[in-house]
Amino acid sequence: MKITVLGSGHSGGTPMIGEGWGNADPKNPKNYRTRPSILVENAKTRILIDTSPDLRFQLLSANIDRIDAVFYTHGHADHLNGIDDLRAINRVMNDWIPAYTNPQTWADIVKRFNYVLEPLKSETNFFYKPCLKRYDINVGQQFKIGAFNIGVMDQDHGFMRTLGYRIDNFAYSTDVVDLPEESFEMLNGVNTWMVGALWEDPHTTHAHVSKVIDWAERVEPQRLILTHLSHRIDYESLSKRLPEFAELAYDGMIINV
């Protein structure tokens, strides 16, 4: 399977409006970070996790115009608000896109983007809006998309819960400050784990770098990839200080698992 990091940044992106590049060296392209989305694919099936506000730019950069399923981790703007860019995928595929998340996130989507679930007007024959087919999933659930085995993990994001996804030997856990025991169990034996780490100091809703390293020492993935990075993180200087199994994500990064 192949993972593509479409966006490795936090909600503000790097550079961030009003705060610029922070600690990040503007000369290093790996410090230019758009908002979080990733692709997970094999030869037959392609899954998009989250529709970042930068989705149009991200899908053009990765040359993607077909998606078999969209998964949502939660309804915060940096993970959801690019939803309208899915219309272009509907047009290319001439079909509705299956979308998966929990009832709580569906409630957010219905409240803010209810038109994505509404039928097309009968007098039209083209996708003038994004069209998603709703599938409800819940924590602890296991299901299949193509040949992929999917597991849905519960995550604590401070004031709300988010979903983590295990996809075969890969797992994606972003926007998480604590993990319940059952989620550690689902991570058992994972080869590559991509985890959100905002910056190096503790935060109320996001894990910080050393906390994620501690988790990984318990989960023992072969590769730990830190993502959802803020402008306070400089790729080069932090990379040098990470343990051997850990690395930083960057936009356009491709990982073969």
Binding segment toward Zn ion, per CB under 5 A, in 53-61, 62-70, 172-180, 249-257: 172-180
Whose Cβ is closer to Zn ion: residue 30's or residue 33's?
33
Binding segment toward Zn ion, per CB under 5 A, in 22-30, 134-142, 174-182, 217-225: 174-182
Whole-number minimum distance, CB 203 to Zn ion, in Å? 12
Residue 50 touches Zn ion, criterion: CB under 5 A: no
Whose Cβ is closer to Zn ion: residue 49's or residue 224's?
49
CB atoms within 10 A of CB 217: 11
Residue 78 touches Zn ion, criterion: CB under 5 A: yes
Whole-number minimum distance, CB 79 to Zn ion, in Å? 5
- 34 closest CA partner among 14, 49, 18, 48: 14
Residue 112 exposed, middle or buried by CB count within 10 Å (0-12, 13-18, 19+): middle
Q: Let me know: does 133 contact 93? Beta carbons within 8 Å.
A: no
Whose Cβ is closer to Zn ion: residue 175's or residue 251's?
175
Residue 9 exposed, middle or buried by CB count within 10 Å (0-12, 13-18, 19+): buried
Pattern 4-23, Zn ion, x by CB under 5 A: --------------------
Residue 175 touches Zn ion, criterion: CB under 5 A: yes
Residues 6+ apart with CB under 8 A from 84: 113, 129, 130
Distances from the Cα of 5 to the Cα of 168, 242, 243, angstroms? 17, 19, 21
Rounded CA-CA distance 130/194 in Å is 28
Q: Let me know: does 250 contact 43? Beta carbons within 8 Å.
A: no
Whole-number minimum distance, CB 189 to Zn ion, in Å? 27
Binding segment toward Zn ion, per CB under 5 A, in 21-29, 72-80, 213-221, 235-243: 72-80
Whole-number minimum distance, CB 4 to Zn ion, in Å? 18
CB atoms within 10 A of CB 10: 26
Whose Cβ is closer to Zn ion: residue 78's or residue 108's?
78
Q: Which helix (H) or strand (E) covers residue 56, if one does?
A: helix 55-61
Q: Let me know: does 68 contact 42? Beta carbons within 8 Å.
A: no
Binding segment toward Zn ion, per CB under 5 A, in 73-81, 83-91, 109-117, 181-189: 73-81
Whole-number minimum distance, CB 26 to Zn ion, in Å? 23
Whose Cβ is closer to Zn ion: residue 175's or residue 234's?
175
Residue 85 touches Zn ion, criterion: CB under 5 A: no
Residue ranges binding Zn ion (CB under 5 A) = 78, 175
